[in-house]
Amino acid sequence: MLFPDYRARRMRQSETFRRMVRETVLSPDDFILPLFVISGKGVKNPISSMPGHFQLSIDNLVKTAKEAWDAGVPGVILFGIPEKKDPLATSAYAKNGIVQRAVKELKNRIPDLAVITDVCLCEYTDHGHCGVVEKGIIDNDASLDLIARTALSHAQAGADMVAPSDMMDGRVAEIRDMLDENGLTHVPIMAYSAKYCSAFYGPFRQAAQSAPQFGDRRTYQMDPANAQEAIREVTMDVEEGADIIMVKPALPYLDVICRVRQEIDLPIAAYNVSGEFSMIRAAAQMGWIDGDKVMMETLISIKRAGADIILTYFATDAAKALNR
Q: Catalytic residue positions?
A: 195, 248
State the Cα–Cα distance between residues 162 and 139, nearest whole angstrom: 22
Omega prior to 82 cis, within 30 of 0: no
Angle at 313 between CA 289 and CA 131, to 5 degrees: 130
The secondary structure of the chain in percent helix, strand, coil, rounded to multiples of 5, reads 45, 20, 35
Element (H, E) at 164: strand 161-164
DSSP annotation of 123: T
Determine contact, residues 31/37, Cβ cutoff 8 Å.
no
Omega prior to 188 cis, within 30 of 0: no
State the Cα–Cα distance between residues 284 and 118, nearest whole angstrom: 29
Determine contact, residues 202/174, Cβ cutoff 8 Å.
no
